[in-house]
Amino acid sequence: MGANERQPQFIEPFNLSAYQHQAKKSLFASYRYNNLEFEEWHAHTQAQLTYSSQGALQIHTSDGIWTLPQGRALWIPAGRPHRTHAQGQVKTCNFYCSDRGKVTDFIALDISTLTHSLLQRLIEQQGGDEIHYLMEHLLKFELSRAAVANVPFLPLPRERRLKQVAQRLLEEEGAEASLEGLGSVVGASTRTLSRLFRHDTGLTFSQWRHQLLLMKSVSLIEQGHSLEEAARRLGYFNGSSFNAMFRKTLGQTVQRYMKVEWFS
């Protein structure tokens, strides 16, 4: 997937004086989380770019859950509540951007080798000299050119009965229940639930469940399960059948999608 109109653009010429006199400076930080550790709901006064260089992240928002394997980042607009949930042993890289007004929506990006190297250096070398500002300017330029990442996103329904269905499937490991069976639990026909899923989430029930299984598979694999183990726990006969669904949805096999060789 290529660049996107919603993507924040930082293309102004470098101006050292402007950087030095910013009312609010950009911040850079790295955090570690244990497996399944999570932060409470919170928001920032600055736009945040976050990704993991070890493990995977789930970012919960009011609209849904983003799943970020290594090397995929998420822009989080300023003031938007979210919660971070670690999948595996996680190390994050974070950029709290001074240009808060340029990030207006959640958007996932692929992180390049250069972007990762720049952010690592900015995290390690906090300061305000000319080299620091030049690196920040180059980081913003690289992020403006970054490809939009194809990552699992699970939109969360708001309708009362759909919320019950979604919660049940989120709690079940395999999410194998049929729409007919779920309808009998929440007091709605299959036809009604199908219509509500499309209206509330923009996805069919089958598409929504695929996103849920993709999210769960990334979590299981980052927690140390093999593809075969993850596939069976999610209700598939074997790894090959699950890999076929994964590739059809995200364009790559599980092994290729999860492999980011240059992260350490």
Radius of gyration of the chain from its Cα atoms, rounded to whole angstroms: 20
Share of the chain above pLDDT 70, in %: 88
Q: What are 90-149's pLDDT values in tens digits? A: 999 999 998 777 899 999 999 999 999 999 999 998 776 788 888 998 999 999 999 999
- Nearest-CA neighbor of 9 among 47, 45, 58? 47
Q: What are 199-251's pLDDT values in tens digits? A: 999 999 999 999 999 999 999 999 999 999 999 999 999 999 999 999 999 99
Alpha carbons 24 and 19: distance in angstroms, whole number: 10
Q: What is the pLDDT of residue 21?
A: 61
Alpha carbons 135 and 118: distance in angstroms, whole number: 6
Is residue 151 predicted with pLDDT exceeding 50?
yes
Q: What are 20-59's pLDDT values in tens digits? A: 666 568 899 999 999 999 999 999 999 999 999 999 999 9
Please report the domains of the chain, with CATH numbers, ordered by start residue: 16-145 (2.60.120.810), 157-258 (1.10.10.60)
List, in sequence order, every residue forming a beta bridge with 48; answer none if it has no partner. Answer: 76, 96
Is residue 5 predicted with pLDDT exceeding 50?
no
Provide the token pair at 170: 């989120």
Provide the token pair at 253: 């096999």
User: Is residue 56 a contact partner of residue 69, using CB atoms and an 8 Å limit?
Assistant: yes
User: Is residue 222 a contact partner of residue 259, using CB atoms and an 8 Å limit?
Assistant: no
Q: What is the pLDDT of residue 130?
A: 83
Q: What are 51-94's pLDDT values in tens digits? A: 999 999 999 999 999 999 999 999 999 999 999 999 999 999 99
